[in-house]
Structure 1
């Protein structure tokens, strides 16, 4: 197994002094215990230091001399200040906030320098003249050790190795029920011994409680908060879908307004139902050429904020499934001016904190809440997510009650451990891994374009016209490929990649494939993908006409609160009449359910929304389309597709919105 390397960069402009410091610290690293591979390197200028920090992903800490001068003598014989320690520290922490920063100071300057620098989250300081290299080394080593701790995972591993007899749940009893079974032992062997050993019960106090953490789970969450730049962080073991619902129920009472983009994840719409909120839907932008749904135009968002200053919260998705992310800071500022809390669904953007080209994150842009699917882009198990809180008015008791309402009392401990380990990896080597991922993404773009048939879509290609001036950015780890010239339908191409080349892609539209690069992407995987696409391109098929699904109709009218409509019994109404024609009687009815074509996963109808003739035609068109589309929310009466709508009696008993 590879051993870790932890470089510490020392910045001091006096060459002889720097050489002596580096020599002393490396001698301490050789003679003292060094489990994290500490080694010390030095530079003499601030600009050189910044270049090293950018290029070397193994740098874990920096030691900055508070007196930084150029080595070039001025005409009057005086050396000029090249960059203050304060400015350098600010630039370092902006670029890589996960780095530990220490300052070398003179003892007599302690009060002045330390007061100024510690406001910049400096981790400590050393006295320049003491040269206690063993002491400095021990402090730096201990800091890296602290950062690399995984409180929950360590405790879980310790407990498993104790090999206690289990007289508690779960029923497989550390795998004993499966081990040696003639029927299911293969499952035990396939999954591995420790997956069962670590599948434990809330009956084990030393592993803390996710419902009310006071021990190792609390510690792990506190370390995650520091890593992701939050005031508080909470681990969620049933995905960002539940995380969104928890926040909604915390911030919104029945009838209170919520601004939301219509193209948000369906969990947001489910959260509207559960919280009883009054949603103000904002239509997203649409790139019709590629079937890509983008952000809500900034002018639409700002208009909604002005028209609904009584809204309690606003939720946006950044980045989108296709990698488009908002310029959040001015939007958050506008919302906060009206005392509207901002929730950002960052399910696809949990890695952004750990590379400067991906920042600012939602929290850095001022958001009050961010939910992240840690499992999507970092090294956590599926369903493992985080809720980050920066709300100055955070009501922890109310949040905890709602969190516990949705969280299982029997959480999966391996999932919690994976969040702990995922945070550790992001902090210790996230920059290095993301630097590699971004390099691979750039190379893969060139390779795909070199096929002459497949083409990677850039930001300008993906942006719908209505958001071209909104300062939207693209996450380059999401690679969208135009496949329209390859001579295959998107379904045929996906099948070819899967069956012949063992490649499974993330998602598709009628004429694009989306590839997701993560910190786990390797150059060999990229080479195999390029080889597969080049081979398909060389087959020289003539392009064929691709079937484009019609655009989702724009949002119509919300007649009743979604919760009120959803909890009515309703009646089943067919989309087609007995002669297989579109049922015109549905126009004007009110939907009880959320109807979602997948892909792209944007609701055509939400509970309480008025159905129009255009919507009915759109749904029937999808059902008859040669391109298979899942329609969530459609109910079948035999072979007849139907939707659940309010009865006339139910409508009379409900209060219309606006009354």
Structure 2
């Protein structure tokens, strides 16, 4: 398959436009054209915008500065800015009459424009070479290309890793099947930091640095860093960069557990903000906007605010006013966009957190784009960014033996996002809409919309839904979520993303296809025809509100503490735990929200909640509880708490 890169020439001057289009097309036939450049003319702004939205193969737009349209004083400027808003990954060139026009364009639209040509020169062969080079830069994968080049050199390995390019596995009667399963190229590309031409993730100056520069441009960041330890580590790196022991931060209690681990590692003082809750479906939503505004006003000494947008279920904040309020108070904003890395590449998902003004954004590139698992990115737009301090913290958490295949996959995922992300996301959106209709037609399953998912306390907060995350109400099917997942897996070879007690969640990505949609619909339709009677679901007990801190989370975590059982001798919630201070993070999964964090005072409703979960929700994992002969919690001894300097802050 060969790529197609469509070039639009936008002009009202039909004769001139015809000459330019014909000349560029001749050049495409005569010159080297590896990216499949083909040229078309469009007559005005409206037609250009329609083509840009409808055709995912449009890569470059040439706009005649002499464009004439009624009621628009500078139609070329307006069109350039609008196309940049719709599809920022496109390359935009302006065709000028003279340098005075260039000065005007630089003043009004320099952020959107990649280059200029002079209209009357009509050096179409030269223009074509520049446009081809532009596509070459966009399509470049500097690290992946260098990795392939090195593997093709077939160097003998006298360095790590121990499998020596797969030679230790190849031909083995015991483990040779692993060589065949993984593949020779993957093993040959699993290399050591002893290979200088592949650059260093810990101190990049070559092809990794170039790949990160291209990623920053693609995602709209000042700086971008590749991470091979997932977004979990990325969050911790940013926390340790921005927060010193005792620094205050505001955080969504619904944040990923890595954020709460980051609180422990940094020694920060957290102010927890309770999330909104859809109790009918057991789904946690954003923190109400007013709660965030009140927290900002009440904590003027806070250094950082961190939010998750979008959530696991696809709910995303109206971030711009929140970021503006935080910045007005001198607070940096971190947004965990683990589930939203694709948003930059289709207007249906934007604005992104960076576009809304966030200072730091972490993304799990592997979750929704085409990178390998654990491959993530950190994007920085903080004008006061301390790169040296960041690098020290980054290197503290990053392996000195990073997996080069992960880095290559980030390079490739960025290339795909900028060259065909719009087309593939448009397909995913169409398939999502189609799948929602098919699910609803079964009669036993229902695809939930924003109004169904939105907790009432955030109904007026401008929260939006990522339509590629489909939450399905299964309550009329007669199946429990565990039974349904097992039936889909065992009978129909379908694995879903997650579930609650009465929902399952489906994730559509760049890899969504109509065939997959058809197979899923067929499976749900067959299950619906079994006509099981609707069942009564035992809802998850409601998570208790946050109690209070008695000391810094870091201080509590690093004490030895003592272990007390969750239940007393009569099998009831152990009252001896009430008022004690927890040392660990206790996280029922799902939903994955900490019920207790280190340093938190244990209240009776919290113990009652944990006990009820253990008795009624057998499929839930309980992270952080000690499981010996019985379930136990690690709590501070009274003398340990009294000796902690930070405990005096909370009295």
State the TM-score, normalizing by the size of structure 1.
0.97
SS at structure 2 position matched to 1:560:
coil
Matched residue, 2:342: 351
2:528 matches 1:537: yes
Matched residue, 2:295: 304
How far residue 602 of structure 1 moved from its aligned partner, in angstroms, is 0.3
Seen in structure 2, the aligned counterparts of structure 1 residues 111 and 620 have a Cα distance that, compared at 3 Å, is closer
Partners in 2 of 1:81 and 1:652 — Cα distance?
71
Matched residue, 1:41: 40
Match of 2:172 among 181, 190, 213: 181
Match of 2:228 among 197, 213, 237: 237
Partners in 2 of 1:118 and 1:553 — Cα distance?
51
State the TM-score, normalizing by the size of structure 2.
0.98
How far residue 582 of structure 1 moved from its aligned partner, in angstroms, is 1.9
Contact 2:336 2:362 in 1 (8 A): yes
Partners in 1 of 2:528 and 2:233 — Cα distance?
42
Matched residue, 1:16: 15
Matched residue, 1:562: 553
Matched residue, 1:634: 625
Matched residue, 2:566: 575
SS at structure 2 position matched to 1:10:
strand
How far residue 637 of structure 1 moved from its aligned partner, in angstroms, is 2.6
How far residue 627 of structure 1 moved from its aligned partner, in angstroms, is 3.8
Partners in 1 of 2:268 and 2:584 — Cα distance?
16
2:651 matches 1:652: no
How far residue 527 of structure 1 moved from its aligned partner, in angstroms, is 0.6
Contact 1:66 1:103 in 2 (8 A): yes
Partners in 2 of 1:520 and 1:108 — Cα distance?
46
How far residue 83 of structure 1 moved from its aligned partner, in angstroms, is 5.4
2:285 matches 1:285: no
How far residue 298 of structure 1 moved from its aligned partner, in angstroms, is 0.4
How far residue 304 of structure 1 moved from its aligned partner, in angstroms, is 0.4
Partners in 2 of 1:445 and 1:508 — Cα distance?
17
Partners in 1 of 2:71 and 2:309 — Cα distance?
44
SS at structure 2 position matched to 1:69:
coil
Aligned length, in residue pairs = 649
Match of 1:372 among 363, 385, 389: 363
Partners in 2 of 1:504 and 1:460 — Cα distance?
26
Partners in 2 of 1:236 and 1:489 — Cα distance?
38
How far residue 80 of structure 1 moved from its aligned partner, in angstroms, is 7.0
Contact 2:81 2:109 in 1 (8 A): no
Contact 1:68 1:81 in 2 (8 A): no
Partners in 2 of 1:584 and 1:380 — Cα distance?
49
Matches within 5 A, 1:509-524: 509-524=500-515
How far residue 357 of structure 1 moved from its aligned partner, in angstroms, is 1.1
Match of 1:488 among 479, 488, 512: 479
Matched residue, 2:442: 451
Seen in structure 2, the aligned counterparts of structure 1 residues 439 and 83 have a Cα distance that, compared at 3 Å, is farther
Contact 2:11 2:43 in 1 (8 A): yes
Matched residue, 1:139: 130
Matches within 5 A, 1:78-477: 84-107=75-98, 109-116=100-107, 119-477=110-468
How far residue 529 of structure 1 moved from its aligned partner, in angstroms, is 0.5
Partners in 1 of 2:53 and 2:337 — Cα distance?
25
How far residue 343 of structure 1 moved from its aligned partner, in angstroms, is 0.1
Matched residue, 2:4: 5
How far residue 547 of structure 1 moved from its aligned partner, in angstroms, is 1.6
SS at structure 1 position matched to 2:583:
coil
Matched residue, 1:65: 64
Matched residue, 1:75: none
SS at structure 2 position matched to 1:186:
helix
How far residue 113 of structure 1 moved from its aligned partner, in angstroms, is 3.8
Partners in 1 of 2:638 and 2:95 — Cα distance?
77
Partners in 1 of 2:191 and 2:167 — Cα distance?
13
Contact 2:77 2:105 in 1 (8 A): no
- Superposition CA RMSD, Å: 1.1
Contact 1:69 1:80 in 2 (8 A): no
- Stretch of structure 1 that moved more, 532-541 or 268-277: 532-541
CA displacement 1:48-107 (0-9 Å, x = unmatched) = 00000000000000000001124xxxxxxxx87585211110001010000101111113
Contact 2:371 2:409 in 1 (8 A): yes
Partners in 2 of 1:394 and 1:120 — Cα distance?
21
Seen in structure 2, the aligned counterparts of structure 1 residues 233 and 108 have a Cα distance that, compared at 3 Å, is closer
How far residue 16 of structure 1 moved from its aligned partner, in angstroms, is 1.9
SS at structure 1 position matched to 2:250:
strand
Query: Structure 1 unaligned runs (5+)?
Result: 71-78
Partners in 1 of 2:102 and 2:219 — Cα distance?
30
Contact 2:96 2:102 in 1 (8 A): no
SS at structure 2 position matched to 1:260:
strand
